[in-house]
Amino acid sequence: MKTKKLLLGDEAFALGAINAGLSGAYAYPGTPSTEILEFVQADPVAKERNLHSHWSSNEKTAVEEALGMSFCGKRAIVSMKHVGMNVAADAFINSAMTGANGGLIVVAADDPSMHSSQNEQDSRYYSDFALMPTLEPSNQQEAYDMAGDGVELAE
């Protein structure tokens, strides 16, 4: 029997990563991305696996911590709001040259129409510049699938 859950997009991304074997989650808080690390820190499976999670001092540090986890062959996720990609740009773009040994997902939560931010920004230009793939889910199920194991979520 399939289990269905009703989740926010951030929560779906976090749960998908946990179910796909996530080892570390790193973030700098800022709406609309804060819920990703909050979900990881509250998830019972993540607690049972003793999954490493850390609020970083800034977005660049968060990317570097996630890269370190990935260099060790572990799966990691790093999340920040769109303006945080400006802070993390050097580490992110250089990571395209260094590569990763484990899976690495960088979530830049853009804020179209500025619902909770001081400006609008399209973070996809960073991945274009770095020649990195961009994943752009249009709903919670796609967010889960892009990070997870393909279990169907509730609508």
Sign of the torsion angle spanned by Cα atoms 142, 21, 91, 120: positive
Length of the chain: 155
Which of 72, 5, 71, 70 lies closest to 43 in space, CA to CA?
A: 5
| Residue-level pLDDT at 5 | 82
Which of 121, 29, 35 lies closest to 83 in space, CA to CA?
A: 121
Tokens at 155, concatenated = 């609508």
Average pLDDT over residues 79-90: 89
Tokens at 15, concatenated = 């749960």
| Residue-level pLDDT at 142 | 93
pTM over 0.85: yes
Average pLDDT over residues 104-120: 74
Q: Which helix (H) or strand (E) holds 41?
A: helix 34-42
Question: Is residue 132 over pLDDT 70?
Answer: yes
Question: Is residue 4 over pLDDT 90?
Answer: no
CATH classification of 22-112+119-144, choosing from 3.40.30.10, 3.30.70.100, 3.40.50.620, 3.40.50.970?
3.40.50.970
Question: Would you place residue 10 in the very low, low, confident or very high pLDDT band (cuts 50, 70, 90)?
Answer: very high
Average pLDDT over residues 140-150: 84
Question: Is residue 39 over pLDDT 90?
Answer: yes
Question: Is residue 24 over pLDDT 60?
Answer: yes
Question: Would you place residue 117 in the very low, low, confident or very high pLDDT band (cuts 50, 70, 90)?
Answer: low
Which of 133, 93, 85, 142 lies closest to 111 in space, CA to CA?
A: 85
- Helix (H/G/I), strand (E/B), else coil: 80: strand
